[in-house]
Amino acid sequence: MVVWRRELLRLTLLVLLGAWVGMPFEQVFGGISAALAVYAVLHVRRLVQLRMWLEHPKRQDLPELGGLWGQVFDGLLELQRKSRKKKKKLAAMLAEFQASTAALPDGAVVLGHSGEISWFNNAARTLLGLRVPQDIGIRVPNLVRHPVFTAYFEEGRFDNEVEVPSPVNRTKTLSLRVIPYGQNQRLLIVRDISQRLLLDAARRDFVSNASHELRTPLTVLRGYLDMMEHDAQGQGVLAPWHAPLTEMRNQALRMESLVNDMLKLARLESGRARMSDDLLDVPALVRRAVDDAKALSKEQHRFELECDDTLTMTGGETELLSILANLVNNAVRYTPPGGVIRVTWAKAPEGGRFAVADSGIGIAQEDIPRLTERFFRVDVGRSRASGGTGLGLSIVKHSLEAFDARMDIESEIGVGSTFICHFPAHRLVYRNAEKSANKIEGYI
């Protein structure tokens, strides 16, 4: 406010001076006009100086003035100093960021809104064969030319990662994941997973070979136990050993089931189990799985089935039976006697929907993400007592991947659980409704 008052006082004195000069010539207003014109010229001169400084701040210097224009120039110079300080700080942060990302073993590629490359670190240059400055501004799908990555990038769903061969070295496998951030920008993370895949293959081979080797002694052991258990019945010599022999036979059966599950899971993980593309009678397979579960239940549970007989699917019968049997049998194992198990096979908006709902013990929310891990059990005692191996849901997960399907799990402690398998529409086949008996039925 003091500056404004001084500027008004200066203007007033200038006007009075103009009027005083014009009084002897009887041109008071002319003198005032001349004074105002001088005042305007001075301001225009300051504006011209300001404009020239804004166009070339490094070549032009602002004059050191007092008054209103002096404060304006001082404020601009202060803003300039602060801006330079921020630029230096940002430049230092950017240099530190680039130095840290350059040292990362994983590749990092900054992408624009259309997927064009803006920047990449040394690891990305090595893993993807990128070049500076030739590849800057080029869309990354044009450089990483693999159908899996192209489909992943164009789809725009970046929840998981994809594995593709390295464009530089085909013997290596890369994991690629896109992470959106900022204003329509994306960060591509590239990781060499060749060593991990080799270790996984070695583990699978070990499990497969060990399981094969265990089959023979288990078969021999079961044969002798069956013979001895038969002799232990009644009043024979082995009658006192009847209970131990029965328990030994049950444990041998459980070990045999575990070996079979381990072999099946190893084949699914390694991709050696190539799924066929047969036309499957899904309603018949669903009823078969329910009937087997009824035998396991021994009439201790109530079953409800809703099955669309017009809805079939293409795929492998063994893989589908693994999915159906494991989910329904798990419902029997984890549902107390008297509980209800509801099995549904029906059409859904996204394709086919197979669901198993039970009124069992339920699963804690923190345990749900771990259910498909090998040997993970919610209730260890109940699972072992019922003959579970802890591999059922892992087999379900890998079998669903062969169908391009996915599984959702809903559960609440003390209320029950629901396992929902979503099968893609491209695998569904619809039968003529007139040839299907009981299109949708329910039974206990």
Residue of higher predicted confidence among 24 and 252: 252
Question: What does each C-alpha distance from 221 to 216, 218, 242, 254, 269 come to in angstroms?
Answer: 9, 5, 16, 13, 29
> Looking at residues 122-126, what average pLDDT do you find?
87
**Banded pLDDT at 286 (limits 50, 70, 90):** very high
> Looking at residues 373-387, what average pLDDT do you find?
58
**Banded pLDDT at 355 (limits 50, 70, 90):** very high
End-to-end CA distance of the chain: 90
**Banded pLDDT at 8 (limits 50, 70, 90):** confident
Query: Which CATH number does 278-441 carry?
Result: 3.30.565.10
- Measuring CA to CA, which residue among 357, 359, 318, 321 is closest to residue 338? 359
Decide: 109 and 190 in contact? Cβ < 8 Å.
Answer: yes
> Looking at residues 45-65, what average pLDDT do you find?
72
Taking the C-alpha atoms of residue 101 and residue 41, their distance in angstroms, rounded to an integer, is 56
Does residue 418 have a pLDDT over 60? yes
Q: What is the pTM of this model?
A: 0.55
Decide: 209 and 136 in contact? Cβ < 8 Å.
Answer: no
* Class of 104-192 in CATH: alpha beta
Does residue 134 have a pLDDT over 80? yes
Taking the C-alpha atoms of residue 310 and residue 284, their distance in angstroms, rounded to an integer, is 11
Residue of higher predicted confidence among 77 and 144: 144
- Quote the pLDDT of residue 388: 58
> Looking at residues 191-217, what average pLDDT do you find?
79
Residues in the chain: 444
Residue of higher predicted confidence among 122 and 69: 122
